[in-house]
Structure formats: C-alpha cells, structure tokens
Structure 1
Amino acid sequence: MKVVITVHGEDVDPEDLRRWLGRDPALRGKVRRAVDPTPRTGTMGLAADAVLALLAPGGVATVLAGALIAWLQTRKGSRTITITRPDGTEISVTTAQVETGDARDTEGLVQYIAAQLDAAETPSRQGSPAGQPDSANAPEPHRPGAAAREQ
C-alpha cells in the first residue's frame, strides 16, 4: 500500500521527515520524496512537499506511525502531519496531540494511526477478530485536557 505523507506548519522541511523515516531499519527503502510528473486528468497531482511510504503487511504501519509521532515530538513549533491512504482517507496528527501526552497516550495514538492505516488493507472485512480493534472501535486520539474533563 502506498500512502502519501504531507507536513504543514512552522519551518517545515519534508526532506527532514523523509530522512528521519529512512533511518528506521523497518522503513529503509520504503520512504521517498513524492514525485508525480504526470498527474491524472482532473487531479492536481502529488504535493511537492509530500513523502511517499510503501507499506507492506506485517506491522510496518505501526513502525511508520511510531516514527511519525516521534518526529513530531522532537520538533518545536506547530506542525500537522497528514497521511493519505490510497482510498483518499486522510489521517491527521498535530503537535498539540502529542505534546501533552504521557507514554500510554502516545502509544494509544500510535496504535490508532496504525489501525487506520491497516484498515485500508482490509476494507471489506466484517467486524474484527476478538480482541482486535477495527477502525470504528479504535481508541480516540489523545486530546489535550481530555483527562481533566473526564475526571
């Protein structure tokens, strides 16, 4: 599955994100700068600041999600990463969602993103195996202040 990753915000360098992702052994060779010299009729083509990731079954979605969250956590300023699945579904994460979370919140966000990516691989499944969240039952991403409101 090919996903398109775009990043927007303060002092954004998509090449920095591509290099970061490429350092992970599980993602090495699967991430590259987006180049689409001939967009299809009626489309605008890929954004010049996009990164393409080729994901294979077997947990690579979790590795990608974790690497994206780690990249956001190590950058200052406001940023938004948007992952676009082949079906056009967009999954967006902002620095506000990862700044205030503890390790459990961060892990939940990683698992949520991975589940959304994996959902693109199995769009026709009916429900999910016992104990495995499907996209409808995936945990909500962390929202700053949510814990305070729930208490």
Structure 2
Amino acid sequence: MRIGLTVRADERNPSPGADTAGAGPDDLRRWLAGQPGLRGRVRRATDSGPPPGAMGAGTDVILALLEPGGVATVLAGAVVAWLQTRRGSRTVTITRPDGTEISVSSTEVGPLDAQQASELAARLAAALEPDARAPEAGGGGPSDGVPPAS
C-alpha cells in the first residue's frame, strides 16, 4: 500500500523561538528512512509538482510503501515521535490510497506524555491499515480523524 505524507509549517502561529527552516519534508523523510522497519520503504515523490496549467508551488510528498506485518505501526510511531521532537508548529498529513487524509499536528501531539503518544500512534496505525474504514470527522482531537488520547 502506497501512503503519501506531506509536511506543512504553520507560518501563522509559530512557536516563540521556533526554527522553521529545518523541519520540513526532507527532514521527515530522513527521519523515517532511519527507522529500521522503514528502511528502503520511504522516498521522495517525483511527481509532486502542480498539475499542468495550474498555478502555485508544488508540494513535496514523501511516499512510504506499507505492507502487512507492523510497518504501519512503525510509520505511525515515527511520525508522532518526529512531531514531538520538532520545534515550531508542523502538520503532517498522511494520505491513504483511497484518498482519505489524516492530519497530525505538533502543537497537539507535543504535550502528550509517552503513554498518550503511544496510544495515538496505535490509533493512527489502525487508521492506515488497508481495511480500515474512513476516519470519522469532527473528533476535535490531536488529529483529523484519529480520536484524542485519553
């Protein structure tokens, strides 16, 4: 299963003293590629520019190839950990092959303790599984479509 990941910096509401330059898609790609369970499964998309005739900048997309056997769990845990260790406000949007998007923000993930972060990663991994139903909107939690940690 091919998963797309994009990173967006929140320029409107940066954290005080935040370094917004070093925590973009290339940083996340390197972080993910360094995870033992994801090595060889993560790359930069080559077709991430705007469609022909469209205006605007292209989006840097990271592609991750997932298969059964816990790879979704490794990816979800790595994304949550990456967000928790970055300064400034970032949002990672994960797009499933069916077009379902799940967004996780560092401002909402950062304050979670280890148990809550682990629970969020488990719910995110479950949402990435090929047979997962589309997440319900309006959860109001740390991410769009992933229920908040208790």
CA distance in 2, matches of 1:135, 1:81: 16
Number of residue pairs matched? 129
- Deviation for aligned residue 1:141: 2.5
1:1-151 aligned at under 5 Å gives the runs: 1-9=1-9, 10-11=20-21, 12-36=23-47, 47-118=58-129, 121-122=130-131, 140-142=147-149
Cα contact 2:90–2:105 (8 A) shared by 1 = yes
Q: Secondary structure at the match of 1:26?
A: helix
User: How big is the alpha-carbon RMSD for the aligned residues of Structure 1 and Structure 2?
Assistant: 2.8
Alignment CA distance shift 1:114-1:37 (3 Å) = closer
**Any gaps of 5 or more consecutive residues in structure 1?**
125-133
CA displacement, residues 58-87 of structure 1 (integer Å, 9 cap, x when unaligned): 110000000011111111000000000000
Structure-2 separation of matches of 1:40 and 1:107: 37
1:116 to partner: Cα distance: 0.5
Q: TM-score, normalised by structure 1?
A: 0.74
Bigger-Rg structure (1/2):
1
Q: Are the aligned partners of 1:112 and 1:141 in contact in 2 as well (CA < 8 Å)?
A: no
Alpha-carbon distance between aligned partners in 2 of 1:70 and 1:61, rounded to the nearest angstrom:
14
1:48 shift after superposition: 3.5
User: Does the aligned pair in 2 maintain the 1:66–1:110 contact within 8 Å?
Assistant: yes
